[in-house]
Amino acid sequence: MSRRLEGRRAIVTGGARGIGRSIVERFVADGAQVAILDLLESEGRETAEAVGARFFRADVRDAAQTRATLTAAIGALGGVDILVNNAGILRFSPLLSMSLEEWDETFAINLRPMLVTTQEVARAMIEAGRGGKIVNLASMAGKAGGEGQGHYAASKAAVIALTRVTAIELGAHGITANALCPGYVLTEMGAATRTAEDVAEWSSYSPLGRLGVPEDVAGVAAFLASSDGDYLTGQAINVTGGMIMH
């Protein structure tokens, strides 16, 4: 495997498990030093130890805690070149019975923290003058919607919009920002309600005939984080096995 992230320093939110963990593993394999920011203390520590990363506990809903933890992580890494905003939640709730608490919780985790992390990390990148890469986890739902996903889909559409503004405002500093829009990836997210029928149905929507695995997303994240992605910015890239093509 190429070591195309050699010498790069990366921060991955929600890196304790799932897609985030796979991105951390891939970045480390590609030569990066990686800091995980996650709420899950024991899974985060276990992942960090297993893959050779650092763990920092933070609840991204808490902006002050997130800023302080990012300062510590950037200090430990000796700088930062890559930010992956991956922490997120998916809850199901039909529009007509959705509570405002459910709506607010989704936005408080999926969207608002991206402003905080982007501010902190981009300031450090600009000060260092070496450019940088920001990768935001959106979703196919941000483009296509999804039943019971009014809050989730809206938050992910907002992630795509925020990513575009980030690309526009930070491009002059050599910082790229892109969103990844995974389709249906087999992780803990959605696992509690997943059935064999769901897997068969969703697999049939992909021309490749299968659901995604975290490594499918991690490979594209590594590409965007590397110099191979230098001329891509403001994009919302589908990683859906062709489930959607726009």
Ligand X SMILES: NC(=O)c1ccc[n+]([C@@H]2O[C@H](COP(=O)([O-])OP(=O)(O)OC[C@H]3O[C@@H](n4cnc5c(N)ncnc54)[C@H](O)[C@@H]3O)[C@@H](O)[C@H]2O)c1
What residues make contact with ligand X under the rule CB under 6 A? 14, 16-20, 38-40, 59-61, 86-90, 109, 137, 139, 182, 184-185, 187-189
- Residue 184 designated active-site: no
Minimum CB–partner distance for residue 149 and ligand X (Å): 10
Nearer to ligand X, 44 or 229 (CB): 44
Nearer to ligand X by C-beta: 187 or 233?
A: 187
Q: How far is the CB of 4 from ligand X (least distance, A)?
A: 22
DSSP string spanning 65-88? HHHHHHHHHHHHHTS-SEEEE---
Distance CA 126, CA 20 (A): 25
| Nearer CB in complex with ligand X: 22/176 | 22
Q: Minimum distance from CB of 128 to ligand X (Å)?
A: 25
Answer whether 221's CB lies under 8 Å from 138's CB: no
- The secondary structure of 186-238 as a DSSP string is -SSTTGGG--HHHHHHHHHTSTT-S-B-HHHHHHHHHHHHSGGGTT--S-EEE
75 in Cβ contact with 68 (< 8 Å)? no
Is the Cβ of residue 125 or residue 217 nearer to ligand X in the bound state? 217
In angstroms, the CA 36 to CA 156 distance is 22
CB-based contact 81:10 (threshold 8 Å):
yes
Task: Give the active site residue among 152, 184, 205, 231.
Answer: 152
CB of 60 to ligand X, least distance (A): 4
Q: Which residues are catalytic?
A: 152
